[in-house]
Amino acid sequence: MYPTSELYRMLLLRPDREFLVKVDVGGTDYGMNEIVDMLIETNLLASDEFEIGTVFRSRLTLRMRLNGAVPNNARIIPYTAFDSSVMTWEQAIIPWDKADIAWGGGAGEWLPLGEYYINKRQKVNDVWEFECYCKLIWTEQPYVSNLTYPAKMQDVWDEICTHLNYTYDSTVQINPSYMVPFKPVGMTCNEVMGYIAGANSASVRTGKDGKIQFAQFTSVFKPVLDLADAQYMRAAHTNPIKEYTRFVVTYDDEQDLVYEAGSGDEDRTLYYYNPFMTQEIVDDLETTLGGFKYQPLEMDARGYPPLDAGDWIGYEVYEGTSWRQTITPWQDTNIPWNGMVQYGSILFSIRLGYHGGFKMLLDAPSKSPQQSEFVVEGQLTKKVNQINKEAVKLGRNYYGTRTSREEGFVVETEGGSGKGIFNSDELSFWADGERALWFDIPNKKFIFSGTLEGVDGTFSGTISASEINGSTINGGGIYGAYIATGLGTYPFVELSNTNNLIAAYGDANKYVKIESNLDNLGAPMIRFGFNGKETWLAQISSGFLIFGPDSNVTYTVNNLQLGESVQVGGGAMVLGSYGVPAATDPDDAVVRLNQLIALLSSMGILA
């Protein structure tokens, strides 16, 4: 019930009350002279039985005379107030400190009746008729979330309200521990808001001030208004008192998986679908709603504009009888002396109409309890069940094929060993419960967890792999940190980026290595290895170096031309195949020297 002053509540129940109305259309106020009539319809139920987690938009039908133009989708806010200009002193039975009434009379406290937006319009003669809906109409759009899941229900709710530019009030109470277990792909904002509200034992409505609210349901009866029999015209009890003590929540409609709490027969069971539910949440739901009961009711009453769908009311009904008509035993007769019996019910549906004054149609429906104890299907029921069994539809298997809100189109083997999933975000094939091949659409990648076999293939981009095996690799350029003809087997050739070398091995003791910078010596080098001995050829800054510390270096050539200076170290006296014995005395040394010069000359060496 919309909060009002104590004076407003006092005037609301007076039989001599008079209302003033106005409407704000696109920022312009129109009064009673322009307003013909209006009807505001608010409903929290999609069927004729109590349910939670609904998000239903209110509708305003407004007829008025207008001369100016009204913008498309313009906002309309109706208001009402009490008219105090006709109040006499005798009628003003109000405490002095609460009589906040202007001496000149007129409108006092203006009460908004909701915030609506034009959906369509038509003009009949000089009267415009506008069909308008509350802002919840914008929840019928896909919910695209940027959150990481699982996510808190409060965070999801806030993201939706921010996206839709909604403001909500303190009636929205979301358990901070409740989570949305998966990303709600394919769901609308309306569905997600309803699931969150249902998990918290509520439905969603728009308040009279335009803010989003929860209509909270509990087992505690707290009427916001008590009506005497003179304040309504008709009150019809459509069914016995309805009570809920058992709650069965389907969280997976594909496999018909449910959580259950409480106990009771079929007539006391509330069935509900919500994919966000857990057993803990259902237990909390049973704690909050267990024992929830109301009197199914249809009531024609005077108009009470502050009432909202989801409010509890109390009312009295005359059920007195005469002594002659009373046939029950005295001890079993429980009838008030004045015949007025008190009842309470909840308002699931409200139709507030204005045509010079306000009137209301209040409704709290329920399904009639099962009358027959034999469950017999009629022909229509049989046909519907047969169609339900054979049709391909959301959440139902059909020869291994089904559709899912979370996965899209799914094809699955009977034993569950293989499965294919096809949707706008994923194309995947599963084997034994694990994804084997899938197309990561957002990142444009094919991912395969098994072995790929094929005859041939052409790739225009880059192929990356930790290991490539093949008999022949052809290409214009082959790049890599390490390339070898084999590992652990001889002969083999290797190219190593780490060691900066090219090497050819006959076996472990026979090799040739070309290295650009051995042990950081700063010189390129060729190493010849044979049975543990090495000979190095190196290009150093001073020239070309041949170094064989553990082996002899032998040159066998036809012609050898050296430079201007030749040095022979280590006392060597052998050139080619000619030997010069060591001298025995100075004279012999001269002879040997001449022999050496002649020998060098014969070899083409000038000395």
State residue 552's pLDDT score. 58
Q: How many other C-beta atoms lie within 10 A of the C-beta of residue 449? A: 10
- The CA–CA distances, whole Å, from 1 to 53, 217, 373, 560, 597 equal 20, 14, 41, 117, 131
pLDDT digits (tens, 9 = 90+) for 156-213: 999 999 999 999 999 999 999 999 999 888 899 999 999 999 999 999 999 999 999 9
Decide if 418 is inside a domain.
yes
pLDDT tier at 243, thresholds 50, 70, 90:
very high
d(CA 316, CA 232): 10
pTM of model > 0.75 = no
In a domain, 175, yes or no: no
Q: Of the residues 448, 471, 492, which one is the last residue of a structural domain?
A: 448
How many domains in the chain?
A: 2
Q: In whole angstroms, what is the distance from residue 423 CA to residue 406 CA? A: 9
Same domain, 438 and 492: no
pLDDT for the residue numbered 162 = 95
* Residue 377, domain member (yes or no): no
What pLDDT, in 10s, does the model give residues 96-122?
666 666 655 555 778 899 999 999 999
Share above pLDDT 70 across residues of the chain, in percent, rounded to a whole number: 76
Average pLDDT over residues 276-287: 94
How do residues 498-554 score in pLDDT, each as one tens digit? 777 788 888 888 889 888 776 666 678 888 888 878 887 877 766 677 777 555 556
The secondary structure of residue 224, as a DSSP letter, is S
Is there a domain that residue 434 lies in?
Answer: yes
Say which residue, 371 or 144, is predicted with more confidence: 144
Q: In this structure, is the dihedral angle defined by the CA atoms of residues 504, 508, 513 and 516, taken in order, positive or negative?
A: positive
User: What's the length of the chain?
Assistant: 607
| DSSP letters for 483-545 | EES-SSSSSEEEEETTTTEEEEEEETTEEEEEESSGGG-SS-EEEEEETTEEEEEEEETTEEE
Give Cα separations from 455 to 450, 452, 458, 465, 470 (angstroms). 17, 10, 11, 19, 13
Whether residue 563 lies inside any domain: the answer is: no
Say if residue 377's pLDDT is above 60. Answer: no
What number is the average pLDDT over the span 320-325? Answer: 69
Evaluate whether residue 410 is within a structural domain: yes
Distance CA 191, CA 185 (A): 11
> Distance between CA 86 and CA 16 in Å, rounded?
10
pLDDT of residue 480: 66
pLDDT of residue 208: 92
Percentage of the residues of the chain whose pLDDT score is greater than 90: 31
The answer on pLDDT for 396 being more than 60 is no
At residue 578, does pLDDT exceed 60? Answer: no
Domain's final residue, options 523, 547, 571: 547
Is residue 62 pLDDT above 70, yes or no? yes
Under the banding of pLDDT at 50, 70 and 90, the label for residue 573 is: very low
Tell me, what's the pLDDT at 189?
95
Domain-terminating residue out of 521, 547, 573? 547
- 367 within domain boundaries: no
- The tens digit of pLDDT for each residue in 69-104 reads 888 989 999 998 877 665 655 555 666 666 666 655
Residue span of the structural domain in which 535 resides: 482-547
pLDDT digits (tens, 9 = 90+) for 456-466: 777 777 777 77
State residue 492's pLDDT score. Answer: 82
Q: Give the model's pLDDT for residue 329.
A: 81
Mean of the per-residue pLDDT values of the chain: 80
Compute the average pLDDT of residues 259-281. Answer: 93
pLDDT of amino acid 327 = 75
- Tell me the CA distances in angstroms from 254 to 149, 257, 310, 559, one per residue in order: 21, 8, 32, 94
Is the pLDDT at 604 greater than 60? The verdict is: no
Buried b (16+ CB within 10 A) or exposed e, 577-604: eeeeeeeeeeeeeeebeeebeebbeeee
| 350: confidence class by pLDDT, cuts 50, 70, 90 | very high
Model confidence at 572, in pLDDT bands (50, 70, 90)?
very low
Name which of 319-323, 370-374, 466-470, 591-595 the model is least confident about.
370-374
Residue 156 placed within a domain: no
Considering the domain architecture, whether residues 495 and 440 belong to the same structural domain is answered as: no
| pLDDT at residue 395 tops 50 | no
What's the rounded mean pLDDT across residues 334-347? 79
The whole-angstrom separation of Cα 592 and Cα 582 is 8
Name the token pair of 477.
């350029």
